[in-house]
Amino acid sequence: MPLPLPLPSPVSSLLWRSLRVYQVYGANTDVGKTIFSTLLCKAATRFWDNEQTAFLKPVSTGPLDEADDRHVQRFAPEVANKTLFQYDLAVSPHSAALASKRLIPPDESLLDEISKFASRRASLSRGWLFIETAGGVHSPGPSGSTQAELYMPLRLPVVLIGDAKLGGISQTISAFESLKIRGYDVEAVLLFREDKYQNHLYLTDYFRDQQGIPVKTVPEPPARGESISRDADSMLWYYETTSSSPTAQSILSYLAAQHSKRIDRLDSMRASAHKTIWYPFTQQKQLSASNITVIDSAQGDHFQTLTSSAPPSAPLLQPTFDASASWWTQGLGHGSPSLALAAAYAAGRYGHVMFAEAIHEPALALAENLLAGMANPRLTRVFYSDNGSTGAEVAVKMALRAARVRYGWGAEEEVGVLGLRGSYHGDTIGAMDCSEPGVFNEKVEWYEGRGFWFEYPTVMCREGRWVVEIPREMRSTASYGGHKAVFASLGDVFGVKDRENRGEGALYEQYIVDTLERLHREGRRFGALILEPVILGAGGMLLVDPLFQRVLVNVVRRSSHLFGQGEHRGAKEMGDSTTHWAGLPVVFDEVFTGIYRLGRFSAASFLHVDADISVHAKLLTGGLVPLCATLASESVFDAFGSDDKSDALLHGHSYTAHAVGCQVALESLRQMKEMDAHEEWAWAKTSYQRNEVPSKPSLGMSPESLIWSVWGPDFVNWVSQQTASSVGGAWALGTVLAIHMETKDGSAGYKSGAAKDIQASLARGAVVVEGIEGDGAGWNVHSRVLGNVLYVMAGHKTKEKSVRQLESILRRVLLEKKHQ
Amino acid sequence: MPLPLPLPSPVSSLLWRSLRVYQVYGANTDVGKTIFSTLLCKAATRFWDNEQTAFLKPVSTGPLDEADDRHVQRFAPEVANKTLFQYDLAVSPHSAALASKRLIPPDESLLDEISKFASRRASLSRGWLFIETAGGVHSPGPSGSTQAELYMPLRLPVVLIGDAKLGGISQTISAFESLKIRGYDVEAVLLFREDKYQNHLYLTDYFRDQQGIPVKTVPEPPARGESISRDADSMLWYYETTSSSPTAQSILSYLAAQHSKRIDRLDSMRASAHKTIWYPFTQQKQLSASNITVIDSAQGDHFQTLTSSAPPSAPLLQPTFDASASWWTQGLGHGSPSLALAAAYAAGRYGHVMFAEAIHEPALALAENLLAGMANPRLTRVFYSDNGSTGAEVAVKMALRAARVRYGWGAEEEVGVLGLRGSYHGDTIGAMDCSEPGVFNEKVEWYEGRGFWFEYPTVMCREGRWVVEIPREMRSTASYGGHKAVFASLGDVFGVKDRENRGEGALYEQYIVDTLERLHREGRRFGALILEPVILGAGGMLLVDPLFQRVLVNVVRRSSHLFGQGEHRGAKEMGDSTTHWAGLPVVFDEVFTGIYRLGRFSAASFLHVDADISVHAKLLTGGLVPLCATLASESVFDAFGSDDKSDALLHGHSYTAHAVGCQVALESLRQMKEMDAHEEWAWAKTSYQRNEVPSKPSLGMSPESLIWSVWGPDFVNWVSQQTASSVGGAWALGTVLAIHMETKDGSAGYKSGAAKDIQASLARGAVVVEGIEGDGAGWNVHSRVLGNVLYVMAGHKTKEKSVRQLESILRRVLLEKKHQ
C-alpha cells in the first residue's frame, strides 16, 4: 500500500532541565530588544560562568551590518550567536521575505529550526538561550502569521521589553495582553529608565498589582554621537556596567528561579494530582501517579505533555495528538486565539448576566443561529443549560410534560421513555434514568432506568464490506436476506429514502409495531422517544442503521393510539403535522453527533426526519467551555403555559446562557459554517466521491447527501480486513473513526480491555513507519477506548497530512499486533 | 434618620437615536488621531449637512496652542468643539495631571462630564459626536486608570486609528485586542496609506478575515515645511480633498449604518427573545415581551439596560443595579478585565483539555487552593463538575456509596438523605430528589423526594430584636423560654459554642434524637446528611439557627447505631474521628453560602463543624462561567476504590475541570483572599464591631468570629421595625440582605407575591430620596423575589456609598409602602 511522504514532526514546546530558554518580545519596534538581549546574554555569561549562553535571532530584517546578531556578536563575543533567516530590507519580516524573492519558510519550518538549535544547545551543556523576536509581538513573521501566534506552540517564557517612550505605557500593556491571551507566561518586563515620561514607574505598579510580574529597568544606552569608534566604546562601557550590575544579576537570578520553579512544579504535578484530584470515570485504585498525563499546554490537535525522561538534556515536553478530541469536545483546535478573544470579549462586555426574563446579544444571536442552522421547521425555542447531561434532563422534562398534558395523565402515573439499548445521555440521575441498566449506571445509587429500549441493527465495515447486522429479535419476526444485509458503500446504507422505497424498512417496522403493541398491552406508559441520531457514542461507538431510526420515529409519530390509550385529547390538538408533535415528542440527543462532528450541522439530516426536541453541547462552543442548548418546538413549549407559575419549566442554572459560552459558540459556529461553505473538507470528500459505486456518478451527487469522513475509504476498508489483528470491523463518518476489536469470547462490553493494547501502542509514540524516513518522533497519540472499541477523532481544522500520518500509525500498530 | 449625601448617579452607557457617538482610539500616540477626528468631523458636516457635528476631547495634554481641539477648531471651524481637561505638559495625562498641581478629576467625574456634554448634544439636534482619547488605548487617564478601562462603562463604539509606521501592524492588532477584551466594539480601523511598510494591506486582510471589520485608508497628510502659513494652506487643502472623498463618505455611511443597526437590534430584541427563548424558571404565559430586560452590557454592579423611552433625544440605555447578583453569582463585578484576561489566558494556553487521568496547572492549583482555603482537615479530594446541581448530585453519589459500603447495604435497598425542610440543591433530578416535595419540584416528572427533612428554628430581626423562633415540633418536646429566644445581636446568635455550653442545644438535640430513633424504628434508611450551612437560599432566604445545624451534625456523627442497624462494619473502620466520617457522611452545600457570600471563605466556619463533603459553585469563578467543585474526605473517596472499574464514581462531564473556569476561579479566589487579608470590608465590619453588646468588647473580638454584613446594623434594625409596611422581619449577613414581608394570611410560600410591589418600586428607579438633592436617576434596581422575601445582594467590590444609597432607596420604598 502507498505510504505518505515524510512529514515534519508536530511542534514540541521547548523545555529542558539543562537549558533556560527565554523569548525576548518587544512592546514595539525600537524599544531596545537587542540591547536587552545583549545585556541578558552578557549577564548570563558573567554570573553563570561555568555554563554556556547562546543568542538566537530566528528572523532578522535590515542590512546585514546593522543586524541584531552582529550587534550581539560585537558586544557579547563570548556568546554563541545565530540568525536563522536574514532579509536585507528593513521592514516587517513578511514584507522583507516577500521582497527577497527567496523561498518563504513556512511557520513549521521556522519552529523546527528553532527547536533544532535549542536542542543542540540543551545537549551541549547547561546554560541559557535568549531568542529575540522581530519588531513588536504581532509583527508578522515571514509567512505572514503574527509572531505572537506562530511561536505559540513553543510556549517559551517571555521577557517583554517595555516601551519607555511617549505612549509606551499603552504599548507595553497591550503587547502584554496580546501575549497573555495566547497563553504566554510573561516572566519579567524590562525597560529603559527614562526620566521624562517615567513609564517604568507606572508599569512597575501596574504589573505588580495586576499580575505579580516584576518590572526592572536599566539606564538608557548612550546616545549615538558622530564618531563610530567612540560610540562603540561607550556601548562597550554601557554593557560592562549594566551587565555586571545588581539589577542584571537579580533579573537573571529571577529568570533562573522561574525556570526551576516551572520544572519543579511539572515534576510534582503527577503526585499532587494523584493525591488531590478525584477523577471522573476513573477507578483510581488502578491509577498510578506515573500514568497521569501532565498537560503543560495545548495547541491545535496536540497536547504538550510531560515526558518521563530523566537526563537534563532530554526534552521535558512532547506533542501528543489528542485523538479523543478531549472527550469529543474539540473542533477548532486547542488554544484558538479567536475563541480566546471571543471569550474575553464577552467577559469584558458582560461577565455573566442573569438570564431569567432578560436577554443579551450573544444568547439571542446564538439561539437564532442554532434554529437557522438546524433547518428543522419544528424547532422554535432554545433553552440553555450547562452541559449535555443537564440539557438531556431538560429535554426529557419537556417531553414528558408535553405527553402528560396531551394525554391527560396524572402526576402520579409512571411514565418512561422509549430509546435504544446502550444509549447514553449523561451522568446526572435524570439523564441516567433515560438509559437501560448497564455498566455506566447499574451501581449508581438512585439510578432507576425508566423506559423501554429497543434492539437495533448496526452498521460496520467488515472485511471490506459494509454490513447491516440485524439483531435476533428482528430476524424472528421476518426475513431480510438472512441476518444481515450487505452494501457496496456507506453511502448506500445512508440512502434511507431509496431503501425505504425498496421496502427495506418493513422488517424494522414490523418489529417496532409489534413491540409497541406488546408494551401497550402490558400497560406501560411512555412520554418520549429519545435517540442519539446515527451513532451511539458512550454506548460503544455503534453506528445504528439510519433506516431503523427513521422508521422508529415515523412509527412512533403515527401511533398515538398506543401511547394515549385512545381517550387522549391529542388528535384534535395536534395541528400541522410538520410542526406539531405526534405520538410522542421525539428527542434527538445530538450532544456528540451534532455540530459537524459527523460532517454536518445536524446529525438528524442523515435520517431525513426532524426532532421535536434537540440537544446540543460539546462542539457547540468549539471545544472551549461547557454550554448546552435544548431546542424545542412550540407545541412542546405550549404544554408549560398556564396561569400558574409552578407549571413553568422549573429548571435553570445560575449561569444559564452565560455570555462567555454563547459568544464562543457564536464564533465557533461562524467558523464551522464558513469552513463548510468554503468546502474546506473537500480533500476528505473527494476520496468518498470517487469511492461511490458507479451507479451513483460522483459528479451528479449533491454535496449534502454525500457520506464522507476525513478517514479515507481505502483506509477504513483496509482496517476492516485486519481480522488477524483481532479487528472485528470498523466505520468512519465525519471526523470519527471507530475500530471494533473482537474479543475471544465474542463479548464487546465496556469492561473489556481488548482495545487497550492498541491504545498503549499509540501512546508510546515514536512509531517507526516502514518505508518512510524520519523516526515519527512526536507522534504520540492520546486516545480513549470504550470497551472493545478504539476510536480516533480529528478536529475540524486537522490537516489532511496529519490524518494521513495517523492512518499510517494505525496501520503500523495493527500490523504489529498481527505479528505478536 | 440621617440620610446620605447626594451621590453622582452610576454611569450610563451613551446611546441615543438622535446622536451617533464614536470614540476615537489610537493604536499608539502620534498615529494621526486628531487628523482623522478632524476629517471625520468635516466629512460628517459635509455629508450630513442638515445635522450637527461635535468634537470632544475629554483630556488633552501639551501646550494649549498645539492642543488637538485647536487643530480641530482651525481646520473644522464648523464643528462644535470642547476639551474637558487640559494639561500643559506633553506627557501622559496621569503625569500631566499630577504635574499641574490641580485637582485630579476622579474617573466618575470625567465620565459624568462626557455624559453631560453628549446628552446636551443629543437633545440639541440629530448629529454626530466624535470623542478623541489621548495617546494609546492604555495611556493612563488623569486618575491613573488606563483609558481603555476607565471608559468601559460608556461602551462607545470605537474608530481605531491604526499605526502606519514600522511596527504599526503589531501596535494596531494589540490595541484592538486590548479594546476587545474590555467589551468594546471596534467598528472600523482607519490609517494612513503609507507605501514603504504598507501596513494597511496587511491590516485590511487581517481585520476582514478575523473580525469582519473594515479597514480604510486616506493619504498621509502633507509633510510639515518651513513656512507655517504654507503648512496651514496645505493642511486645508488636505482636509478639503480627503473629507469630500468617496472614502470619507463611505466611512461615515458605514458608521451611520452601524449606529442604526445597533439600535434596530436593541429595539427588536425583546420581541425576538419573547418568541425564541425558553426561559428558565419562568411562566412565559405571564411574561410579555415588554417585561423582558434587554442588557446591552454590564460593568461592576450595574447592567446597562434598554429603556423604553421613545423620543430621539432620550437616552436608550440606563444603569440598573444588579441586586440579585445575577442569581447569586457575582462577586468581583461584571466585566472584570482581570477575569476576562484570566479566561483568555487559559483559552489561549489550553482551550479545554480532557481531564480523566490527566492534569493541568489551573485544575491542580485550584484544587490545592480550595482545600487550603477550607481549612477543613477532613477534605482531601476535589471532584469537578459544571454547576451546583451537578456538584450536589456528585456529593450525594459519593455519600450514599460510602454509607452503603460501610453499612453493607445491597444495591437494591432504598436509601435516602437527611436534610432540612425547604432546602434546595439544584434542578437536575438527582439534586431535586434531595429536597422534600414543594413548589420547585412537585410538578416535575420523575421527581421523587428521597429522604427525611427536619424542622428547624429560624433567626430574624423582628422589630429590632434578634429572635430565634422554635418550630412547634420542638416546643412540644421541651421548653426553651417559650416558643422563641431573643438575642441582643446576631453575633450572639452565632456564639454557638457559648450557647452550647449554656445548654441551649439540649432542646434541639432531644428533637433530633427522638426523630432519628423514630425513623430508625420505621426502618427508614439514610446515606447522607445534606445541609446548606446557615442559609437556605432558594428555599426562601431563611437564616437557620446555626446552633441547630451544629447539633444536627454532631448528633448524626455519633449515631451510627441508628443508621447501620448495629451490624455495620463502621465502628472498627472509622479511624480518626477528625478526618473519617461517622454516622453518615455530612454534605454541606455551600453553592450559595460559600466563597465569601457571607463574608467568609466557607460558611461551615459559622457552625464550627467540618463537613465530609462540600460543594462549591456560583461565586467560585467570581461570577464569570459555570464551574463546580465537590470536595470530599479520603474516607469517602476510599469507598470507591476497588479492582473493578465500575465501582468508580462514574460521573464526569466532557468539560470537567475546563481550564477557563479553573483559571478564572484561581484569579477570583486570589482577589477575594487579598481583599479579605487587606481588610477591604473594614468599612462594613466597623459598624458591627460597634454594634456588639458591651459584654463582648469589640477591641478584643477576633475578626474571624465577627458577624458582619455590608448592610449596616442600624439599617437592618430600622427595616425590621417597618411592620406598618408589612415587614415581618429582616436579616443581613455578609453581602446578603433579606426582607421577609408578612402576607395577610400569614403564609410565606414561593407562590406568594407579597414582595412583588417592592420589587416593582425598585425597578422603576428614579426614586426621590427625601431631603437630599438629585433625582436619584440611574438608581434603577433589578431585584428578584422569593415568594414573600425580597432579597438584595451586593458584590464584593460594591462600594460603601453604593450600599448606603441602596439602603436609602429601600428606606424610601418601605416608607412609601406604609403610606399607601
Question: Residue A219 gets which letter from DSSP?
Answer: E
Q: Is there a contact between A751 and B645 if contact means CB atoms under 8 Å apart?
A: yes
Q: What are the grid coordinates assigned to B296, written together? A: 446591552
The three-state secondary structure class of A636 is: helix
Q: Is there a contact between B278 and A625 if contact means CB atoms under 8 Å apart?
A: no
Say whether residue A282 is in contact with chain B using an 8 A CB cutoff.
yes
Q: Which amino acid is at B221?
A: P
pLDDT confidence of residue A442: 85
Q: pLDDT band at A609, cuts 50/70/90?
A: very high
Q: Which of A386-395, A570-579, B513-522 has the weakest average pLDDT?
A: A570-579
Q: How many residues does chain B have?
A: 820
Contact A555, A509 (CB under 8 A): yes
The CATH number of B19-220+235-263, from 3.50.50.60, 3.40.50.300, 3.40.50.720, 3.20.19.10, is: 3.40.50.300
Domain boundaries, chain A: 19-263, 371-454+523-656, 684-819
The top-level CATH class assigned to B365-459+474-482+490-615+626-649 is alpha beta
The nearest alpha carbon in chain B to A784 belongs to: B356
Per CATH, A19-263 and A371-454+523-656 having the same topology is answered no
Number of H helices and E strands in chain A, helices first, is 27, 28
pLDDT confidence of residue B753: 63
Q: pLDDT band at A47, cuts 50/70/90?
A: very high
Name the one residue in this structure whose C-alpha cell is 484530584: A277
- % of chain A with per-residue pLDDT over 90: 83
Q: Is there a contact between B446 and A400 if contact means CB atoms under 8 Å apart?
A: yes
pLDDT confidence of residue B153: 96
pLDDT digits (tens, 9 = 90+) for A189-229: 999 999 999 999 999 999 998 889 999 999 999 988 877 78
Residue B479 pLDDT greater than 70, yes or no: no
Interface pTM, i.e. ipTM: 0.96
pLDDT confidence of residue A4: 42
The yes/no answer on whether domain A684-819 falls in CATH 2.40.50 is: no
Q: Of A381, A446, A782, which has the smallest distance from its Cβ to B278's Cβ?
A: A381
Give the ranges where A168-220 is alpha helix by DSSP (H): 168-180, 199-211
pLDDT confidence of residue A746: 57
pLDDT confidence of residue B128: 98
pLDDT confidence of residue A752: 56
The model's pTM is 0.96
- % of chain B with per-residue pLDDT over 70: 92
What is the rounded distance in angstroms from the CA atom of residue A141 to the CA atom of residue A60? 10
The CATH number of A371-454+523-656, from 3.80.30.20, 3.50.50.60, 2.120.10.30, 3.40.640.10, is: 3.40.640.10
Computed on alpha carbons and rounded to an integer, the radius of gyration of chain B in Å comes to 31
Q: pLDDT band at A656, cuts 50/70/90?
A: very high
Contact A384, B384 (CB under 8 A): no
Q: pLDDT band at A7, cuts 50/70/90?
A: low
Q: What are the grid coordinates assigned to A711, written together? A: 478517514
DSSP per-residue codes, B117-167: HHHHHHHH-SEEEEEEEEEETT-B-TTSSBHHHHTGGG---EEEE---STT
Q: Is there a contact between A352 and B336 if contact means CB atoms under 8 Å apart?
A: no
Residues in chain A with CB shorter than 8 Å from the CB of B443 are 411, 646-647, 650
pLDDT digits (tens, 9 = 90+) for A287-328: 999 999 999 999 999 999 999 877 888 999 999 999 999 999
Sheet of A416-420: strand order equals A379-385, A628-633, A613-616, A586-589, A526-531, A416-420, A451-454
Q: pLDDT band at B816, cuts 50/70/90?
A: confident
Summarize the confidence of residues B196-207 as an average pLDDT.
96
What is the rounded distance in angstroms from the CA atom of residue B820 to the CA atom of residue B817? 5
Residues 331 through 360 of chain A touching chain B, CB cutoff 8 Å: 333-341, 343-360
Summarize the confidence of residues B153-167 as an average pLDDT.
97
Please list, in sequence order, all residues whose beta carbon lies within 8 angstroms of the beta carbon of residue B418, skipping any fewer than 6 positions away.
B451, B452, B453, B454, B526, B528, B529, B530, B556, B584
The three-state secondary structure class of B433 is: coil
Computed on alpha carbons and rounded to an integer, the radius of gyration of chain A in Å comes to 31
Element (H, E) at B786: strand B784-786
Q: pLDDT band at A482, cuts 50/70/90?
A: low
Q: pLDDT band at B754, cuts 50/70/90?
A: low
Say whether residue A285 is in contact with chain B using an 8 A CB cutoff.
yes
Residue A343 pLDDT greater than 80, yes or no: yes
Question: Residue A166 gets which letter from DSSP?
Answer: T
Residues 160 through 189 of chain B touching chain A, CB cutoff 8 Å: 166-167, 169-171, 173-175, 177-178, 180-184
The nearest alpha carbon in chain A to B296 belongs to: A360
Name the one residue in this structure whose C-alpha cell is 469537578: B384
Residues in chain A with CB shorter than 8 Å from the CB of B94 are 202
Summarize the confidence of residues A499-504 as an average pLDDT.
95
Q: Which residues of B90-105 are buried (b: 16+ CB within 10 A; e: fewer)?
A: ebbbbbbbbebeeebb
pLDDT digits (tens, 9 = 90+) for B300-359: 999 999 998 778 889 999 999 999 999 999 999 999 999 999 999 999 999 999 999 999
The nearest alpha carbon in chain A to B284 belongs to: A641
Question: Residue A106 gets which letter from DSSP?
Answer: P
What is the rounded distance in angstroms from the CA atom of residue B726 to the CA atom of residue B788? 10
Q: What are the grid coordinates assigned to A623, written together? A: 471545544
Q: Is there a contact between B626 and A655 if contact means CB atoms under 8 Å apart?
A: yes
Taking the CA of residue B627 and the nearest CA in chain A, the distance in Å comes to 9
Q: Is there a contact between B654 and A387 if contact means CB atoms under 8 Å apart?
A: yes
What is the rounded distance in angstroms from the CA atom of residue B799 to the CA atom of residue B7? 12
pLDDT digits (tens, 9 = 90+) for B731-753: 999 999 999 998 665 555 444 56
Q: Is there a contact between A348 and B397 if contact means CB atoms under 8 Å apart?
A: no
What is the rounded distance in angstroms from the CA atom of residue B315 to the CA atom of residue B780? 14
The nearest alpha carbon in chain B to A293 belongs to: B358
Sign (positive or negative) of CA dihedral B695, B698, B704, B710: positive
Please list, in sequence order, all residues whose beta carbon lies within 8 angstroms of the beta carbon of residue A139, skipping any fewer than 6 positions away.
A29, A92, A93, A133, A146, A147, B167, B169, B170
A:B CB pairs within 8 Å? 611
Residues in chain A with CB shorter than 8 Å from the CB of B361 are 265, 269, 296
The nearest alpha carbon in chain B to A414 belongs to: B446
Residues in chain A with CB shorter than 8 Å from the CB of B155 are 349
CB atoms within 10 A of CB A599: 23
pLDDT digits (tens, 9 = 90+) for A423-438: 999 999 999 999 999 8
Element (H, E) at A709: none
Burial class (CB in 10 A: 0-12, 13-18, 19+), B757: middle
The nearest alpha carbon in chain B to A749 belongs to: B646
Please list, in sequence order, all residues whose beta carbon lies within 8 angstroms of the beta carbon of residue A232, skipping any fewer than 6 positions away.
A74
Q: Of B30, B170, B401, which has the smallest distance from its Cβ to A137's Cβ?
A: B170
Residue A567 pLDDT greater than 60, yes or no: no
Residues 740 through 769 of chain B touching chain A, CB cutoff 8 Å: 750-751
Question: Residue A632 gets which letter from DSSP?
Answer: E
Q: What are the grid coordinates assigned to A295, written together? A: 498537560
Residue B765 pLDDT greater than 80, yes or no: no
What is the rounded distance in angstroms from the CA atom of residue A724 to the CA atom of residue A583? 48
pLDDT confidence of residue B254: 98
Say whether residue A411 is in contact with chain B using an 8 A CB cutoff.
yes
Summarize the confidence of residues A777-783 as an average pLDDT.
81
Residues in chain A with CB shorter than 8 Å from the CB of B293 are 357-359
Q: Which of A273, A790, A779, A787 is CA-nearest to residue B358?
A: A273
Q: pLDDT band at A281, cuts 50/70/90?
A: very high
Between the CA atoms of B711, B712, B718 and B720, what dihedral angle is there, to the nearest 10 degrees? 50
The nearest alpha carbon in chain A to B139 belongs to: A170
Strands (E), B386-541: 416-420, 451-454, 458-462, 465-469, 484-487, 526-531, 535-536
Contact B644, A283 (CB under 8 A): yes
What is the rounded distance in angstroms from the CA atom of residue A362 to the CA atom of residue B134? 31
What is the rounded distance in angstroms from the CA atom of residue A791 to the CA atom of residue A755? 9
Residues in chain A with CB shorter than 8 Å from the CB of B428 are 389-390, 393, 428-431
Residue B1 pLDDT greater than 60, yes or no: no
What is the rounded distance in angstroms from the CA atom of residue B811 to the CA atom of residue A213? 46
- Average of per-residue pLDDT values in chain B: 91
pLDDT digits (tens, 9 = 90+) for A683-707: 999 999 876 554 444 444 455 589 9
A19-263 maps to which CATH number? 3.40.50.300
Residues in chain B with CB shorter than 8 Å from the CB of A92 are 166-167, 169, 197, 199, 202
pLDDT digits (tens, 9 = 90+) for B259-302: 999 999 999 999 999 999 999 999 999 999 999 999 999 999 99
Name the one residue in this structure whose C-alpha cell is 408533535: A581
3-state SS track over A449-485: CCEEEECCCEEEEECCEEEEECCHHHHCCCCCCCCEE
What is the rounded distance in angstroms from the CA atom of residue B272 to the CA atom of residue B283? 17
Q: Which of B377, B605, B373, B578 is CA-nearest to residue B494?
A: B605
Name the one residue in this structure whose C-alpha cell is 536542542: A119
Residues in chain B with CB shorter than 8 Å from the CB of A795 are none
Q: pLDDT band at A772, cuts 50/70/90?
A: very low
pLDDT confidence of residue A360: 98
Q: Is there a contact between B356 and A282 if contact means CB atoms under 8 Å apart?
A: yes
Longest dimension (CA), chain A: 105
Taking the CA of residue A795 and the nearest CA in chain B, the distance in Å comes to 13
What is the rounded distance in angstroms from the CA atom of residue A450 to the CA atom of residue A414? 9
Q: What are the grid coordinates assigned to A694, written together? A: 458507479
Q: Is there a contact between B28 and A401 if contact means CB atoms under 8 Å apart?
A: no
What is the rounded distance in angstroms from the CA atom of residue B199 to the CA atom of residue B27? 13
Summarize the confidence of residues B28-39 as an average pLDDT.
96
What is the rounded distance in angstroms from the CA atom of residue A559 to the CA atom of residue A185? 61
Residues 448 through 487 of chain A touching chain B, CB cutoff 8 Å: 450
Q: What are the grid coordinates assigned to A680, written together? A: 474546506
Say whether residue B295 is in contact with chain A using an 8 A CB cutoff.
yes
What is the rounded distance in angstroms from the CA atom of residue A345 to the CA atom of residue B182? 6
> What spatial distance separates the first Cα and last Cα of chain B, rounded to whole Å?
21
Strands (E), A300-394: 302-306, 317-322, 358-360, 379-385
Q: Which of A472-486, B370-384, B629-643, B805-819 has the weakest average pLDDT?
A: A472-486
Residue of higher predicted confidence among A692 and A358 = A358
pLDDT confidence of residue B743: 66
Q: Is there a contact between B411 and A443 if contact means CB atoms under 8 Å apart?
A: yes
